[in-house]
Chains A and B, each alone.
Chain A
Amino acid sequence: MNTSKTEIDAATRREYWVPLLELSVQEVFDLMLGDRLEATPEPAPVNTLDVTSMVGLAGSICGLLTLRCSSKSAALMATKMLGADGAGAKAQMEDAVGEVCNMVAGNFKNKISGVGDTCKLSVPTVIRGSDYSLSTLANDFTMEINLLFHGNPVVIALQLN
């Protein structure tokens, strides 16, 4: 197989994107929720992740960013974002998780040199339930980060074409 230099450069560059993605997530939680996530080596049991938020990227980076978590985590995110009493947090959890995913995607693309202007984000989509399969054409490269939010799993994945 003859792998071109451009392909090797692109693959190497994408290796560096994992810590950038993790930093992007941590900054969003730190600044907008006033909280932190812990890294975990353990992949979360899929049936515990019943809230999925997705934001598409199109342009110089083409792919899909997903944030998966439990309803409990999603409600906690909404509570943190809405402030002290978190009134109405449960009703707002889809909105909150969608916005977190949107900010992570935006923060991530702004950290990659030369991409910010040439990559567009979709508005977020949120799925409730864990019994589904997701197919995307953006499946050349996937990075996944397993995290814990107050002991509850949060999985961030970026699939790229």
Chain B
Amino acid sequence: MDDISVLIVDDSSVMRKIVERSLRQAGIEIGQVFEAGNGLEAMAVLNEHKVNLVLCDINMPAMDGLEFVKQLPKLENAKGVPVVMITTEGSEGHVVQALSAGARGYIRKPFTADQVKEHILPVLTGNV
């Protein structure tokens, strides 16, 4: 698999670094990494750049992760780009809500690099 470009959306900059590190620890070859602090910032990034994967928190100010996933198909640059939620909101109801809104995967915080690998690789290889 070629290096992928990733957009990490989380209102915590520390968490964005942890997610990036976990991707590398999981053995996923990452090229360019973009960051955004909420859904609105993420939309602005996607207007300018094309990415292969979006990892997104749910509870964020300005635009939360669920609204962002719903808005995503409206962006030409983001059509077909898979979104995996990474969030503390780990209940079954939240998972169903996120998947119904268009997310392709769901990782609960706290997480391990192995869990990241387990959830992200099938999304990248089109097996979800």
Which residues in B have their C-beta under 8 angstroms from that of A144? none
Residue of B nearest to A28 (CB): B110
List residues 106-131 of chain A with CB under 8 A from any CB of chain B.
106-107, 109-110, 115-117, 121, 123
Q: Bound complex: CA of A81 vs CA of B15, how far in Å?
A: 8
Which residues in B have their C-beta under 8 angstroms from that of A83? 17, 21
Contact B94 A121 (CB under 8 A): no
- In which size bucket is the chain A interface? 20 to 34
Tell me whether A81 and B109 are in contact in the complex, defined as CB-CB below 8 angstroms, given that A117-B94, A121-B89 are known contacts: no
A54 within 8 A of B: no
Residue of B nearest to A111 (CB): B90
Tell me whether A110 and B13 are in contact in the complex, defined as CB-CB below 8 angstroms, given that A32-B18, A116-B91 are known contacts: no
Contact B88 A96 (CB under 8 A): no
Q: Mark B34-74, 1 if CB is under 8 A from A, else 0.
A: 00000000000000000000000001110000000000000
Contact A27 B59 (CB under 8 A): no
A102 within 8 A of B: yes
Contact B88 A95 (CB under 8 A): no
Which residues in B have their C-beta under 8 angstroms from that of A99? 12, 14-15
Contact B12 A32 (CB under 8 A): no
List residues 61-116 of chain B with CB under 8 A from any CB of chain A.
61, 87-94, 108-112
Tell me whether A106 and B90 are in contact in the complex, defined as CB-CB below 8 angstroms, given that A31-B110, A32-B109 are known contacts: yes
Q: Mark B17-28, 1 if CB is under 8 A from A, else 0.
A: 110010000000
Which residues in A have their C-beta under 8 angstroms from that of B21? 83
Contact B88 A116 (CB under 8 A): no
Contact A103 B109 (CB under 8 A): yes
Contact B109 A106 (CB under 8 A): yes
List residues 30-75 of chain A with CB under 8 A from any CB of chain B.
30-32
Q: Bound complex: CA of A106 vs CA of B108, how far in Å?
A: 9
Contact B11 A110 (CB under 8 A): no
Which residues in B have their C-beta under 8 angstroms from that of A106? 87-90, 108-109
Q: Bound complex: CA of A159 vs CA of B88, how far in Å?
A: 20
- Chain B positions within 8 Å of A, measured between CB atoms, are 11-15, 17-18, 21, 59-61, 87-94, 108-112
